[in-house]
C-alpha cells in the first residue's frame, strides 16, 4: 500500500477503549469504544483531514497516536518505528518530532507563565538550548508565527484568541517537528481570525515541510486545508479519499448526509443543492450498534448491515469506504 520513504505515519487497526468502573469494588462494567479499529497512512508533507461530529473519536485518535493514551490495541508506525512498543523515555525523545496544537487557546496555555517560558519550555525539557539561546530562539519563533518578539515577557491573558493560538503554534514548532497534530485549532476562534490562523498554518507547512493531521468538525475548512480527508463516525473511519474525490463523489451515506448538511454562504447555491437530512442522534459509544455503526441512522441500511461489519475497502485507487452497499 505504501513505500516506506513516502509514508511518515502509518496507523494500523488502532483501538482505544476507556473502561467504565462501577460499584463499591470498582469492577469494570463496560467500555467506551472511543476508537475502534482505525487504519490510515499520512504521507510526508501532506495534510490529512480527519472530520466527524462531536464524540466520534477524532480527537482521541489524535491523542492515541501521540501515545498520550495507551492504546488498547493496534500499532502506530512513525518513520518505521512502532510507537506502541516504545518505553516512555524513548517515546519522550520521539515527541520532538511530533507535536500538537490544541483546540482551546485559553485552556492550553499556562496563565502563570510568560510567553517566553511557554514557548521556551520544550527547548529546555529536551535540552536543545539553554540560557540566552532560548531567548533568541523564542524571539525567532514568535517572529515566524507573526507575533512581535517584544511580547515575550507578557502573559497569555494579555493576548486575544487568535494571538494565543499563534503562541500555541510557536510552542509546537519549537523543537522543529516534522509532524503536527492540529486538534480543532480554529474552532474556538472568530470567523475573521480563523482565516488568519489557517493561512499561517499553510505558510508554515510550505516553509518547514511539515506534515499535518488536521482534526476538525468544519467540513469547509477541512476541504480548504487538506490533501486527503478521512471521515469518522462512532469510532471508525467510514470513508477516506483525495479531497476533491471525497467532496465530489462521496460514497458512504454518512459522508453524503454530512456534506449536504453543511451550510453554504451563498443563498443561490444553498437553495440549489439536494439535502439528505439525517434522522436522530449518534448512538452511545458504550454500546455501539452491531455490524455497521451507521446502520441505525442510515437511509439505505439492509439486513446484512446489522449482521456483519463492513470492510474498509478500496473501491477506486486511493478511495476507501466502509459500507456494504457503496459501489
162: contact with other proteins by CB under 8 A: yes
* 54 counts as binding other proteins under rule CB under 8 A: yes
**C-alpha cell, 53:** 461530529
Q: Is the dihedral of CA 306, 308, 311, 315 positive or negative?
A: negative
Q: How far apart are CA 137 and CA 150, in angstroms?
A: 13
Contacting range for other proteins; rule: CB under 8 A; set: 10-18, 27-35, 126-134, 214-222: 214-222
Q: Is 221 an interacting residue with respect to other proteins (CB under 8 A)? A: yes
43 vs 224, beta carbon nearer other proteins: 224
Among the listed residues 190, 302, 307, 311, the single contact to other proteins using CB under 8 A: 190
Stretch that binds other proteins, among 12-20, 102-110, 274-282, 318-326 (CB under 8 A): 274-282
- Which part of the chain contacts other proteins (CB under 8 A), choosing from 33-41, 77-85, 100-108, 217-225? 217-225
Shortest Cβ 201–other proteins spacing (Å)? 11
Our CA angle for 143, 147, 153, nearest 5°, is 100
Rounded to an integer, what distance in angstroms lies between the CA atom of residue 252 and that of residue 247?
11
Please give the size of the binding site for other proteins, defined by CB under 8 A: 44
Q: Which stretch binds other proteins (CB under 8 A): 67-75, 136-144, 177-185, 194-202?
A: 194-202
224 counts as binding other proteins under rule CB under 8 A: yes
Decide: 48 and 213 in contact? Cβ < 8 Å: yes
Alpha-carbon distance 43 to 9, whole Å? 7
The reply on whether position 201 binds other proteins by CB under 8 A is: no
By rule CB under 8 A, what string of x and - marks binding of each residue 227-256 to other proteins? --------------------x---------
Burial class (CB in 10 A: 0-12, 13-18, 19+), 263: exposed
Q: Whole-number minimum distance, CB 259 to other proteins, in Å?
A: 6
257 binds other proteins (CB under 8 A): yes
Cβ contact 198:223 at 8 Å: no
> How far apart are CB 26 and other proteins at their closest, in Å?
23
Is residue 303 part of the contact set for other proteins (CB under 8 A)? no
Backbone φ and ψ of 163, nearest 5°: -65, -40
Percentages of the chain per state (helix, strand, coil), in multiples of 5: 35, 25, 40
User: At closest approach, how far in Å is the CB of 240 from other proteins?
Assistant: 18
Q: Is 267 in the site for other proteins (CB under 8 A)?
A: yes
Question: According to the binding rule CB under 8 A, does residue 193 interact with other proteins?
Answer: yes
CB of 254 to other proteins, least distance (A): 9
**Separation CA 201–CA 61 (nearest Å):** 21
Cα 90 from Cα 94, distance rounded (Å): 6
DSSP state letters, 64-95:
HHTTSS--SEEEEEETTEEGGG--HHHHHHHT
Place of cell 516534522: 178
Residue 160 contacts other proteins per CB under 8 A: yes
If residue 164 lies in a helix (H) or strand (E), which one and from where to where? helix 161-173
**List of residues contacting other proteins (CB under 8 A):** 53-54, 160, 162-163, 190-196, 198-199, 202, 217, 219-221, 223-225, 247, 257-271, 275, 277-279, 281-282
Amino acid at each position: 500500500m505504501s513505500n516506506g520513504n513516502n509514508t511518515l505515519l502509518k496507523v494500523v487497526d488502532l483501538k482505544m477503549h476507556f473502561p467504565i468502573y462501577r460499584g463499591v469494588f470498582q469492577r469494570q462494567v463496560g467500555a467506551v469504544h472511543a476508537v475502534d479499529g482505525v487504519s490510515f497512512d499520512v504521507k510526508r508533507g501532506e495534510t490529512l483531514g480527519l472530520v466527524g461530529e462531536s464524540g466520534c473519536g477524532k480527537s482521541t485518535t489524535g491523542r492515541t497516536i501521540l501515545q498520550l493514551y495507551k492504546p488498547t490495541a493496534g500499532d502506530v508506525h512513525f518513520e518505521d518505528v512502532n510507537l506502541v512498543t516504545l518505553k516512555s523515555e524513548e517515546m519522550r525523545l520521539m515527541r520532538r518530532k511530533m507535536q500538537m496544537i490544541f483546540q482551546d487557546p485559553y485552556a492550553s496555555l499556562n496563565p502563570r507563565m510568560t510567553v517566553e517560558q511557554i514557548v521556551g519550555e520544550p527547548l529546555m525539557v529536551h535540552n536543545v538550548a539553554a540560557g540566552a539561546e532560548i531567548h533568541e530562539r523564542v524571539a525567532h519563533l514568535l517572529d515566524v508565527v507573526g507575533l512581535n518578539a517584544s511580547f515575550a515577557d507578557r502573559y497569555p491573558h494579555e493576548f486575544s484568541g487568535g494571538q494565543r493560538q499563534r503562541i500555541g503554534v510557536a510552542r509546537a514548532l519549537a523543537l522543529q517537528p516534522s509532524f503536527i497534530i492540529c486538534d480543532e485549532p480554529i474552532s474556538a476562534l472568530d470567523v475573521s481570525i480563523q482565516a488568519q490562523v489557517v493561512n499561517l498554518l499553510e505558510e508554515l507547512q510550505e516553509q518547514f515541510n511539515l506534515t499535518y493531521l488536521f482534526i476538525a468538525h468544519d467540513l469547509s475548512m477541512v476541504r480548504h486545508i487538506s490533501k486527503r480527508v478521512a471521515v469518522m463516525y462512532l469510532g471508525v473511519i467510514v470513508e477516506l479519499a483525495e479531497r476533491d474525490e471525497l467532496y465530489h463523489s462521496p460514497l458512504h451515506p454518512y459522508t453524503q448526509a454530512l456534506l449536504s448538511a453543511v451550510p453554504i454562504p451563498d443563498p443561490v447555491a444553498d437553495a440549489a443543492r439536494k439535502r439528505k437530512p439525517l434522522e436522530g442522534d449518534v448512538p452511545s459509544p458504550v454500546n455501539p450498534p452491531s455490524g455497521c455503526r451507521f446502520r441505525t441512522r442510515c437511509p439505505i441500511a439492509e439486513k446484512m448491515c446489522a449482521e456483519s461489519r463492513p470492510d474498509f475497502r478500496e473501491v477506486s485507487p486511493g478511495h476507501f469506504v466502509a459500507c456494504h452497499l457503496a459501489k
